[in-house]
Amino acid sequence: MNIGFDLDKIFINFPPLVPDKIIDLFYKEKANRELKYRMPSKIEQFIRISSHHPIFRSLNANNLNYIKNPILAKQNNFYLISSRFGFLKQRTADLIQKYDLNKVFKKMYFNYENRQPHEFKNEIIKKLKLDKFVDDDLQLLEYLTNKNPGIKFFWLNNDVDKPLKKNLIAIKHLSEMFT
């Protein structure tokens, strides 16, 4: 099975003490109920580069160790698909190296061309012919489910574990993808 994963909040934690709503303010743009992400200003980029230092971005070892399970790894191809913008390229490379993520994923894709994240992920998902995809951004996942009805999407969150749509399921842990 071909399975794709987002990076942040799946394998790399957000900085401590920063609420998700603050993070969303830096990413999403209000656009008449349409999904749209914005390119941060130079000052915001500096803040985000600083906040993406590996010292502030701990590993979610629980999730990473789960997919490192030799049985799962043998039965599946795992892909990392991150919509991080190009200004975070070096910080992302530092994290990949620090946590040896290149040894876990068959291939990794990053949005260094600064495309709209939902469009970037949709293109890669189609290219890889994924069977499943996991992300923490519910609005992005709702967009992807409409574009890819044959793929199972999973919203990894800490509060809900139930089907949301035919091909979108809320989960609290990666193990729920395989039940």
pTM of the model: 0.89
CATH number at residue 109: 3.40.50.1000
The number of distinct structural domains making up the chain is 1
DSSP state of 142: H
**Residue pLDDT, tens place only, 51-98:** 888 888 889 999 999 999 999 999 999 999 999 999 999 999 999 999
Nearest to 155 by CA among 174, 130, 127: 174
SS (H, E, C) 43-102: HHHHHHHHHCCCCCCCECHHHHHHHCCHHHHHHCEEEEEECCCHHHHHHHHHHHHHCCHH
pLDDT band at residue 27 under the 50/70/90 scheme = low
Whether the predicted pLDDT of 46 surpasses 80: yes
Q: Which residues does residue 37 pair with via DSSP β-bridges, in sequence order?
A: 28
Containing structural domain, residue 130:
2-178
pLDDT digits (tens, 9 = 90+) for 106-157: 999 999 999 999 999 999 999 999 999 999 999 999 999 999 999 999 999 9
Q: Check residue 25 and give its pLDDT.
A: 55
